[in-house]
Chains A and B, each alone.
Chain A
Amino acid sequence: MEEKTKAGSKRTKLGFWKWAIASIVLRLILSYFSKYLNLSSRPEVSTPLTSLRRLAEGYWLKQLSISPYSGSMYHGSPLLLSILGPLTAKKIEGHASHLLCSLVSVIADFISAILIRATGHILVTAHGHSLKALGLDKLFKDTEILPSGDIAALVYLWNPFTIISCIGFNTSPIENLFVILSLYGASAGLVPLAAFGWVIASHLSLYPLVLVIPVIFLLGYGLDAPPRKLFVQSNLLVGEERSKDQVGVKNKPIKTTNFAWRRVVLFFFWATIWITYVLILCAISMKDYGGLAEMFKRTYGFTLTVKDLSPNIGVLWYFFAEVFDFFRNFFVIVFHVNILFMILPLAIRLNHRPCFLVFVYLAISSMLKSYPSVGDSALYLSLLVLFVNELSEMKLSFFLFCGYVGVSLLSPVMHNLWIWRGTGNANFYFATAMAYASFQIILVVESVSAMLNYDRKIRKLCTTPL
């Protein structure tokens, strides 16, 4: 990770836009040749939930006035079907062209990058403000504050995972876009936008549902800052000692300690509006095919019960292919509860850093998700880069970087050996999946402890008299 961010910082000096446009051009070139790359059927890239090929099948069935969900092929949202479906059916010069779909994902990627950049700018300013409020700005003067937004956006654009999932004909760029939209809306204080992003993202891929907690914190407490207790303490200190020097900054930290109930209520109001809107649209498009119950069963039910056992980069497929049928339900519950169990402790411990909490939740869900793809890791990796300044002392970052590179090189090799050549074994591929899961776990744990250490450092600096 460290390497990447360093490379990113060098790039930003060369100019953000130049590199952003270069990445878009690269994507366009690659998507023109994507027919030969054959990425759309890679298990790393497209899952049963996100594959556009399955979406095309669903659209075709719908055109024949059969339910798009009949035939266990399509498991996505009916809204995506009506938006992207016509694009998949368009044929240019006789053969089906996916160029239009790739164009959509390129645009989605670009917008996501811009939103990440904007979020990063907001975060950096907030970071500076909070340091100033604590009176620590002088201490950090020698270490320059990196423009983490630019770096994160470039990491998002140039991450091989993002590029692969962008040209791999799947819907994960669009799902990522809505997650980022929600994050941006919440951090910029745009309540309807945040609600819209959250509702659509949860509708498309279910797991962003847990993001409601960080979004509420963002709207209620404001942006990422050191623990609120410190502001109170430093306020007292400042009030005692240096009340004459700094008057303007004094009010701000006190304001942040209050929970802005109005905005949260507004958020829920907007979320309700968007949910009803989405559900009505879905009900209209599913009217002849069994209604909303059928949709929930085929999309969320499929996600939660892990019915498809085709290999992917997660660990659940092999587990459920091997586990005894008697215990299946038990383990389905255990694995999903594992995501839910960690929500509360993380929310308590990191409630002052909601954006970071978003990263942690996304990383956890992309690890424990039933059908993970590299698109999910692309999203959380670029969000991680948003906290370059805070996580500069993260341990094991080089090891993790090497691990990610190693797994992403080994996993296709093992897949090839097992599926195409028949010389390997399912265990080889599963081993890479387990290694990948372990690296993700280490990444999450290390980044969380690095963030907590950073907070400790700030606290130490605040409490020790200057």
Chain B
Amino acid sequence: MSRLKFSFLLFLILLWGSESTAEEEKEANEEFTEALLLRPLPDRKVLAHFHFQSSAPPTQTYGRHHYIFPKSIYQLVHKFHIREMELSFTQGRWNYERWGGFDPISSSNAKPPGVELWADFDVPQNQVDDSWKNLTHALSGLFCASINFLEHSTSYSATQWSFQSSSSGKLRYGTLPREAVCTENLTPWLKLLPCRDKAGLSSLMDRPSIYRGYYHSQRLHLKSDEFDTSKISSSGIVLEQTLTVVLQPNTFSGKKLQPSWSLSSLFGRKVTGKCSLSNSSNVYVQFQQNLVSEENESREKSEAQKNEILIHEGSHNNPLFALSHPPKRVIKEVENFQKEGSILYEYSVEDYDEYGPFELGLRWKVPVIWSCQQAPLHASRFLLGSGNERGAIAISMKSTRSNDIEIAGLDDEKACSLRVGIFQVVPWYVKVYYHTLEVFLDGESQATMDNIEKIHVSPSEDKVSPGVMEIVLRLPCSVKTAALTLEFDKGFLHIDEYPPDANQGFDIPSAVVHFADFVANMSFEDNLSKEIPILSKLQEKIPVRSYTEVLLVPLTTPDFSMPYNVITMTCTIFALYFGSLLNALRRRRGEEERLLKGKGAEKGPLSLLLSRLSAKLRGKQWEPPKPSSSSSKKSSVNYKLVAKVVLVAGIAIVWQFYYQ
């Protein structure tokens, strides 16, 4: 009876609870959106940027159970108290010169080769390292990658300014430049999506066509403010998954014309409708505004201008190119004093289904040449010196001012300066001499450190921690080239510390170059665009950031097959030292002579010859052995011998007796 009562009560409570959640559902609910952004690139390639965002409302109001948000990520966040985390798997290198370095996609999605992971924790300072170690293991299992190699303190570091989070000292950063990225990493990443790759935009991800691309970067970005007690209303966990690929459309459209493409020619698949769980499912085609045809410029200048006007007007069918479908909406970027705006054509996948799949195509009508917007400086990094003993790391930055990028927020040209932040992690076996840091401006070495605004160095500790250098340079705007050099000695490792392919060399992870004064964002007029995550992401103000090349440092190797030989030979030398010195110390001339004589008397002609030979070798007069005359001495020796024997025997007897 009581049980019935209780269950009834429970039912009531549940009913009430469900009603109350139903009320709140309007405010906060799990959301999932998918989007694909396509952008033709100047070098006949196409950038495809998939963007999936799922969000879970805060646990306090919503509870622990989710129907869209991946459970593993939710558990990860709660177990390790992650405030923000980013994990990227990249293959290939983003070509900053051709594909641009001054737009939101390149700033946030161009990643160094291999695996990059950084995480900001919300735990007490002394637990940060433990959380990091556990996190690497969890992610390693989750993504089938050797992220657990980031567990060792030699492979990760703490950064201060280089990643946007507040400098709480709880951010850890690590990279694995040599990690090979393949489908085994993509599959678990896709599993986090509610529709996997069965429906929606992710069904475009045909593995062969994606991995055939020139650049491939899958990224996972987590942000949660669940543990932030200062905020009253938290927005829960936001999981952002992006896949950025640069593909070459395989069409034969001649050399002059940009290749025309369609979704099926790029990916080999078609979109058959949206993922039914997603709130919105859009495809965008972006055209950058520097789309200026040089040929048109020379031949028909007036017409070219007309073309541009047409682009502004947003027609999907203009003299430059033709899109196969009319866009649902055209979003124009607000032109500001920094740069001209670009145009986004929006398509919604919702209207298409299996019988009429979405098949977007782009056809170029005239040859077009344009260039992408560049970051103010193009950074590259290389090694100086030869041999396996020492060398130098050089980071050179070339100005890209030809693009007429105005410096943000600075009117006076004289006081104008460019702030460049560099963040570099160097493994411990590359022993950097930080006092040799030299800054070159336009090829001239700067004697004073005036150009360094701030610097933070934490030198590497042998077998404990990597060397970290964070530096903010303040360069004059008129600078053409700037360079930074650091000398280093190459370390020598124990044979166990070399990887199996030791002669291949060791990687120095990419340096991060960021321009704090520049923000790469787009701003759209429409208020509507704020509701769509990809558009709000594009509008987010993030500093322009670029990664340099990974360096390969060859290190000297010892002979791996030698341990036994080395041990035995070295020990022989030590034995030689010990034995011969002790022998020299305890030898007595008298005894030696006696011994020699005694032996000479006893032995035959062979030993005589030998002794003569040895005497000759020693450069001494050889004395013929004489019969020993002193019998008294001999007897005394015998006495001593007898005494010794008796003593030893006595000790032995006592020993035996004592222990029995």
Contacts and interface: CB of A to CB of B under 8 A. Distances in A.
A309 B494 contact: yes
B563 to A, nearest CB: 4
Nearest to A328: B494
Given A91-B447, A315-B573, A441-B576, A73 B492 contact: no
Interface stretch (A195-203, A226-234, A264-272, A318-326): A318-326
Given A66-B459, A322-B566, A418-B556, A438 B573 contact: yes
B460 interface: yes
A441 B577 contact: yes
Contacts of A452: 584-585, 587
A57 B434 contact: yes
Interface string B601-642: 000000000000000001000000000000000000000000
Contact of B559 (A94, A420, A425): A425
B584 A448 contact: yes
A345 B585 contact: yes
A317 B492 contact: yes
B60 interface: no
A338 B491 CA distance: 28
B570 A426 contact: no
Contacts of B232: none
A59 B576 CA distance: 42
B447 A66 contact: no
B453 interface: no
A422 B461 contact: no
A129 interface: no
Contacts of A263: none
A308 interface: yes
A21 to B, nearest CB: 35
B433 interface: yes
Contacts of B569: 434
Nearest to B503: A422
B457 A64 contact: yes
Interface in B391-447: 428, 431, 433-435, 445, 447
Nearest to A61: B459
B553 to A, nearest CB: 14
Given A41-B389, A57-B435, A59-B435, A419 B578 contact: no
Contacts of A338: 574, 577-578
Nearest to B574: A338
B447 A342 contact: no
Nearest to A444: B581
Which size bracket describes the interface of B in this complex? 35 or more
Interface string A440-454: 010011001100110
Does more than half of chain A's interface fall in helix, strand or loop, or is it mixed?
Answer: helix
A307 interface: yes
Interface in B105-142: none
Nearest to A460: B589
A325 B496 contact: yes
Nearest to B389: A419
A407 to B, nearest CB: 14
A259 B570 CA distance: 41
Interface string B555-573: 0111100110011011001
A274 interface: no
A72 B390 contact: no
Contacts of B461: 70-72
Interface of B: 386-390, 428, 431, 433-435, 445, 447, 455, 457-462, 467, 489, 491-496, 556-559, 562-563, 566-567, 569-570, 573-574, 576-578, 580-582, 584-587, 589, 618
- Nearest first, the 4 A-B pairs at minimum CB distance are A71-B459, A60-B435, A420-B387, A72-B462
Given A309-B492, A309-B494, A438-B576, 16 more contacts: A64-B455, A70-B459, A71-B460, A91-B447, A94-B447, A320-B494, A322-B563, A322-B566, A338-B578, A441-B573, A441-B576, A441-B581, A445-B580, A449-B587, A453-B589, A456-B589
